[in-house]
């Protein structure tokens, strides 16, 4: 009889014969069907997943060595390539396209006997904070179906939230894993830039993008992170640093006292929900009483984070999305065109959604002659200043604690007509992407409205071991 509380417990069931991979897949397929109205999935690989489960059950029965992710059921965001399967980035422009290869992260999951159960809905080309910018329609938050699940990886967050998979992969360019994790009450990890290969991840902003993970527990997230991390010859930006045994590292956590920083400018902002601020302050006080060093750190760059982020990411997006022209693959306009330029314009105007077009135009503007130095160069200088300030902070502290969002999940449609308000909602998450640090959203709190919200913990780049350790401690003590 299948039941799931953790990957470790599940794999013990498989080894003892008290459950099978086939039972697990059938359970999750039934859950997907029961929660279909939430619109979390763009595709479900039902037949394929059942066949792979049967293959893995046979492998166990014959006594063959089993992979680290044996039988683990994983969903992937519809921006991550899986050979022979549709890959659309929730956009009309990639209508009918099937991937010719698999992302490195997917390959590593399959090599370790994992099962990919489906592709999850998202904001088009990962551009959005609500999962309302999708050609497949909006995703609903299971905690309150009148509210957004967050974005852009909202489908992945909801897939874990309603137990349709054990782990889901998303992508995080400016908070697209942590913010939906916050809104949906699950764990959401953004590793350091370069920790996981970006090969096979559709590019939004190449110097920001990073594959991230959603799960219910820290050990589960750590186990999958350990498998998919590491150097990849197909991605020159992937780190050559050794990948630590993340799962085992959790077992050796002691009563170590940490040095924790927090930004008064963040918790004292008028836009922050008083309950969010109060909950984090109470946690900080509790950590201090436990003997940790907890101190406020003045952070003078907070107001510059969002403008710098949107200047740089839209510039990179304008470049990356120029390849979608309707000539070689994807959507192609049927309207007659006088020349190739007119054809491109028609195809891209019809194929891209409103938010994607807005960001392409903004990026093209900041890269244009006469504005490049005023916007793009200045934003790069802000990014460097942020990195320098962050490096100084991490000389004296182990972690930075922040909210993920100024508010809990907001009603569907509330911010769609005000893109500036939408962009400003990313104020606390884009910081980690600008600096390349690793960060996580932990589902520790409950609002008086009944909605969940989380704590964002940030550690220095490539210190996922410490980040996972403190995260596990905080989750166990909640």
CA 285 – CA 346 distance, rounded (Å) = 57
134 with 177: CB under 8 angstroms?
Answer: no
The DSSP secondary structure of 91-125, one letter per residue, reads: -GGGTT-B-SS--HHHHHHHHTT-EEEEEE--SGG
387 labelled catalytic? no
- Tokens standing for residue 143: 């905690």
Active-site option among 77, 223, 415, 460: 77
CA 57 – CA 249 distance, rounded (Å) = 29
The DSSP secondary structure of 42-99, one letter per residue, reads: EEE-HHHHHHHHHHHHHHHHTT----TTTT-EEEEETTB--TTSB--TT-GGGTT-B-
CA 313 – CA 388 distance, rounded (Å) = 20
Active-site option among 102, 156, 176, 197: 176
129 with 425: CB under 8 angstroms?
Answer: yes
Residue in the structure block whose two tokens are 């009309």: 92
Element spanning 446, H or E: strand 438-446
Q: What is the DSSP letter of 373?
A: I
318 with 363: CB under 8 angstroms?
Answer: yes
Active-site option among 152, 405, 407, 466: 152
Closest listed residue to residue 153, CA positions, set 315, 474, 167: 167
CA 118 – CA 248 distance, rounded (Å) = 29
471 labelled catalytic? no
**What does each C-alpha distance from 174 to 208, 294, 371 come to in angstroms?**
7, 26, 24
Give CA 156 to chain center in angstroms. 8
382 with 301: CB under 8 angstroms?
Answer: yes
131 with 120: CB under 8 angstroms?
Answer: no
CA 229 – CA 467 distance, rounded (Å) = 15
449 labelled catalytic? no
Catalytic residue annotation: 77, 152, 176
């Amino acid at each position: 009889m299948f039941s799931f509380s953790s990957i470790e417990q599940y794999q013990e069931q498989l080894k003892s014969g008290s459950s099978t991979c086939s039972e697990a897949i059938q359970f999750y397929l039934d859950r997907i069907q029961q929660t279909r109205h939430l619109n979390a999935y763009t595709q479900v690989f039902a037949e394929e997943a059942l066949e792979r489960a049967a293959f893995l059950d046979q492998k166990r029965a014959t006594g063959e060595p089993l992979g680290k992710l044996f039988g683990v059921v994983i969903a992937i965001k519809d921006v991550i390539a899986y050979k022979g399967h549709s890959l659309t980035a929730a956009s009309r422009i990639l209508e009918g396209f099937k991937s010719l290869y698999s992302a490195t992260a997917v390959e590593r999951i399959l090599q370790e006997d994992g099962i990919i159960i489906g592709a999850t809905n998202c904001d088009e080309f990962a551009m959005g904070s609500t999962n309302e910018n999708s050609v497949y329609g909006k995703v609903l938050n299971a905690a309150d179906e009148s509210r957004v699940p967050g974005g852009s990886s909202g489908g992945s967050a909801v897939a874990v939230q309603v137990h349709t998979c054990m782990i889901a992969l998303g992508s995080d360019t400016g908070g697209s894993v942590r913010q939906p994790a916050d809104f949906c009450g699950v764990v959401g990890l953004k590793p350091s830039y370069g920790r996981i290969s970006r090969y096979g991840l559709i590019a939004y902003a190449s110097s920001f993008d990073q594959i991230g993970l959603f799960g219910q527990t820290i050990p589960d997230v750590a186990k999958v992170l350990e498998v998919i991390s590491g150097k990849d010859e197909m991605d020159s930006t992937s780190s050559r640093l050794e990948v630590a045994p993340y799962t085992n590292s959790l077992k050796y956590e002691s009563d170590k006292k940490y040095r924790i920083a927090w930004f008064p400018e963040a918790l004292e902002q008028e836009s922050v929900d008083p309950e969010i601020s109060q909950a984090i302050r109470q946690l900080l006080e509790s950590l201090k009483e436990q003997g940790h060093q907890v101190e406020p750190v003045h952070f003078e760059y907070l107001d510059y984070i969002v403008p710098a982020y949107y200047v740089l990411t839209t510039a990179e997006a304008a470049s990356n999305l120029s390849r979608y022209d309707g000539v070689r693959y994807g959507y192609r306009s049927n309207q007659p065109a006088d020349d190739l330029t007119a054809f491109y314009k028609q195809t891209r105007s019809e194929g891209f959604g409103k938010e994607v077009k807005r960001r392409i135009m903004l990026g093209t503007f900041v890269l244009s002659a006469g504005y490049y130095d005023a916007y793009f160069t200045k934003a790069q200088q802000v990014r460097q200043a942020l990195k320098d300030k962050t490096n100084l902070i991490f000389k004296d502290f182990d972690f930075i604690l922040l909210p993920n969002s100024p508010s809990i999940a907001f009603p569907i449609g509330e911010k769609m007509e005000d893109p500036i308000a939408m962009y400003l909602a990313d104020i606390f998450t884009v910081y980690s992407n600008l600096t390349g640090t690793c960060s996580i959203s932990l589902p520790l709190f409950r609002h008086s409205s009944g909605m969940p919200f989380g704590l964002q913990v940030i550690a220095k780049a490539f210190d996922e071991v410490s980040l996972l350790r403190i995260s596990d401690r905080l989750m166990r003590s909640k």
